Amino acid sequence: MAPVDPHSYTDSAHPLTTHVSLSLYFDFPSSTIHAAALLNLSSPYSGQLSLDARSLTVHGVLDPQTLAPLPFTLSPPDAVKGSLLSIALDSQASVLILYSTSPDSSALQWLSPPQTFNKKHPFVYTQCQSIHARSVFPCQDTPAARICYSAKLNVPRELSAVMSARHSGRRDPVAGDVSEGFKKVDSAAGLNFESLWCGDGRVVEEFVMEQPIPPYLFAFAVGELGSREVGPRTMVYAENVAAVLDSAASEFAGTEDMVRQGEKLFGEYPWERFDLLVLPPSFPYGGMENPRMVFLTPTVIKGDASGAQVVAHELAHSWTGNLITNINNEHFWLNEGFTRYAERRIVEVVQGEERAILSMGIGWRSLNEAMERFKDNTEFTKLKTNQEGIDPDNVYSQVPYEKGFQFLARIERQIGRPAFDEFIKKYIENFKFKSIDTGTFLEFLKANVPGIEKEVDLKLWTEGTGIPPDAYEPVSDLYTTIVSLANEFKLGRMPREDEVANWRGQEWELYLENLPKCVEASQVLALDARYRMSESKDYEVKVAFLQMAISSKCRDYYPEVEKTLKEVGRMKYLRPLYTALVQGSGNEEEKILAKRLFAEARECYHPIAQGVVESILAKHL
């Protein structure tokens, strides 16, 4: 037994899965999927095959050829990895697993009609990164194992489905869709799968993904969806509400320009379509790079094109992350550091250098804050981290993004942009559709940029803690002005109207991030009286302001904090607000408030966000 990934039961001695066929029956009333998964292995195997599973009920495992049952065991769940599904094989090269998900499957959020925009229909969607695909189907849930897949989604007729895959049809269900194997386990499972599948008012949506992807990029959403075309290879999808679709279409109108820019930097766009899906406000991230169908929070739609930066980021993952993938989460910086770097290169061209520098400035601040957060746990200030026994959701931070960005920008400064651009193209060409680790990257770097290890301390950058001395705080007139205005606030001076006349969301965000965490309550009130940040439609601004208001015990804003925590589920906002409420001492009132708010809002959060907030509260209460 040799694990390949600290977050997976996958064994290096076992053949890897190459293809998965899924039949998924969506039962909205019970928030459950009844399913069949056919896994094909790279070669026949005899012995115990180890798969990852979480919150799944396994009804039976069969040999797909003979339909003979295969003995299996499902272990009690480990807090981080979930359960080991161990199947006894006798020279099979495929297995058929019949199972159901549970309402608390960690990848899935089931929204009841009142939790959606249109209020009429339910909605369900996945978020599989980093280790939640195993709660949708049993698999070798490690990015070391790339899979192709096909899927049949059986959903109510009034709904439709999208996936991170090519849509190949929508049609009536037929009995032939249902594996014979299901009949064998139906009575044991108390299901009649065939009659469910072919029931009235159902429709089947079919998809195929022919390019091998890591399991964390498996994704679907089901709901009453509408769409608008915004470019030759881009549609935006969202709930079928005209106002949502229209604002999304105008926010993302510039997408094709960015795709072209990505192609200049990295080579041809490799996934054919680049569609966007705007999710309900509970979506736990800003964006998720699911191939062919990026998932986005609606909070990026602000009407000022700044949402384009999130799209630039998820687009850049099409190469760095989706084509070249970190071999496991300990090397997550290979995904996010490269992507941050590429995102800023795209932003620099489509929005100008000033915007790119502001983004670097915001990143520089957040990197310094992350160092503070991990001052007693410096392992997570490294690029390459040890994550044995660690839940990736609990150590998610800006370190892999911004320290990764800094590392790549350092190499670029050393060798010059033209040489670095050439290096990146070669890197992508060389490792596309592969999953790699930090060592492999460094070897490739040294081989292609001879002597780099003498100029840049590669070991310090990748294995050392903290921010290396040759990291670089960005400079520009605007950036410097904002930071010095923030410093003056500490001395009691508020910026004049003429000084902020042209400021947009990012300027305010940077300004607020550079203010002291805790000031006099009267200063908080004065700032808001002049600039109305507590009411900003831009959550980056609003949340940064509310965070300061909480830390400064300016209780006038608690109703706004409550409203915010109940209307969005993006963890970038939940983390700082809940943390500000509960950390430190002498804040009993805030701690009680945090507990009450979480109890009331919990239902509206994605299970991953529920877990993250729970762990923040557990740490401080």
Q: What is the dihedral of CA 93, 98, 101, 107, to 10 degrees?
A: 20
What length is written for the chain?
621
Q: Which residues of 246-264 are buried (b: 16+ CB within 10 A; e: fewer)?
A: ebbbebbbbbeebbebbee
Active site residue 401: yes
Q: Are 611 and 79 in contact (CB under 8 A)?
A: no
Residue 396 contacts ligand BES per CB under 6 A: yes
Whether 181 has a binding-site annotation, put simply, is no
Please give the order of strands across the beta sheet that includes 123-126.
108-111, 123-126, 220-223, 160-163
Question: Distance between CA atoms of 587 and 66, rounded to whole angstroms?
Answer: 64
Q: In the complex, which residues of this chain contact Zn ion (CB under 5 A)?
A: 336, 339
Of 205, 206, 275, 314, which one interacts with ligand BES (CB under 6 A)?
A: 314
- Count of residues near ligand BES by CB under 6 A: 14
Cβ atoms 44, 174 nearer than 8 A: no
The one catalytic residue among 341, 401, 531, 605: 401
> Does the annotation place 128 within a ligand binding site?
yes
Rule CB under 6 A: choose which of 130, 306, 506, 534 binds ligand BES.
130
- Contact call for residue 129 and ligand BES (CB under 6 A): yes
**Does the annotation flag 466 for ligand binding?**
no
Q: Which residues of 68-97 are buried (b: 16+ CB within 10 A; e: fewer)?
A: eebebebeeeeebbbbbbbbebeebbbbbb
Cα(516)–Cα(547) distance, rounded to whole angstroms?
11
Q: What is the DSSP string of 533-544?
A: -TT-S-HHHHHH
**Binding partner of residue 130 among Zn ion, ligand BES, none, CB cut-off 5 to 8 Å per kind:** ligand BES
End-to-end CA distance of the chain: 40
Confirm or deny that 284 is annotated as ligand binding: yes
Binding range to ligand BES, per CB under 6 A, among 104-112, 280-288, 352-360, 502-510: 280-288
**Binding to ligand BES by residue 287, rule CB under 6 A?**
yes
* Contact stretch for ligand BES (CB under 6 A) within 6-14, 68-76, 284-292, 611-619: 284-292
**What are the C-alpha distances in Å from 277 to residues 120, 336, 350?**
19, 21, 22
- The annotation status of 129 as a binding-site residue, yes or no, is yes
Among 11, 205, 206, 289, binds ligand BES (CB under 6 A): 289
Stretch that binds ligand BES, among 54-62, 188-196, 281-289, 469-477 (CB under 6 A): 281-289
Question: How many other C-beta atoms can be found within 10 angstroms of the C-beta atom of residue 6?
Answer: 17
**Does 620 count as an annotated binding residue?**
no
Does residue 217 belong to the site contacting ligand BES (CB under 6 A)? no
Residue whose beta carbon is closest to ligand BES: 286
The interface partner of residue 265, options being ligand BES, Zn ion, none and the CB cut-off 5 to 8 Å by kind, is: none
Tell which positions 524-583 bind ligand BES, by CB under 6 A: 572
* 314 in active site: yes
Q: x/- string (CB under 6 A) for ligand BES, residues 291-310?
A: -------------------x
Cβ within 8 Å of residue 357, ≥6 positions away? 474, 475, 476, 478, 479
The verdict on 125 binding ligand BES (CB under 6 A) reads no
Residues in contact with ligand BES, shown as a per-residue x/- string from 317 to 356 under the rule CB under 6 A: x------------------x--------------------
Residue 606, classed as helix, strand or coil, is coil
CB of 317 to Zn ion, least distance (A): 6
Q: Is 255 in the site for ligand BES (CB under 6 A)?
A: no
User: Do residues 113 and 122 lie in contact, with contact meaning Cβ atoms separated by under 8 Å?
Assistant: yes
Alpha carbons 197 and 202: distance in angstroms, whole number: 8
- 262: three-class secondary structure by DSSP: helix
Is the alpha carbon torsion for 445, 449, 450, 452 positive or negative?
negative
CB of residue 343 vs ligand BES: minimum separation in angstroms? 7
Backbone phi, psi, residue 228, to 5° = -135, 140
Q: Which does 141 bind (CB under 5 to 8 A by kind): ligand BES, Zn ion, none?
A: none
In the complex, minimum distance from the CB of residue 262 to ligand BES, in angstroms, rounded to a whole number: 14
| Stretch 426-465 residues interacting with ligand BES (CB under 6 A) | none
Q: In this complex, which beta carbon is closest to ligand BES, that of residue 34 or of residue 132?
A: 132
Answer yes or no: are the C-beta atoms of 597 and 566 closer than 8 Å. yes
Measured from the CB atom, the residue of 380 and 396 that comes closer to ligand BES is: 396
* Identified catalytic residue from 314, 343, 348, 507: 314
Point out the residues that are catalytic.
314, 401
> Which residue ranges make up the site for ligand BES (CB under 6 A)?
129-130, 285-289, 310, 313-314, 317, 336, 396, 572
Binding site for Zn(2+), by residue number, is: 313, 317, 336
Residue list, annotated binding site: 127-129, 284-289, 313, 317, 336, 570-572
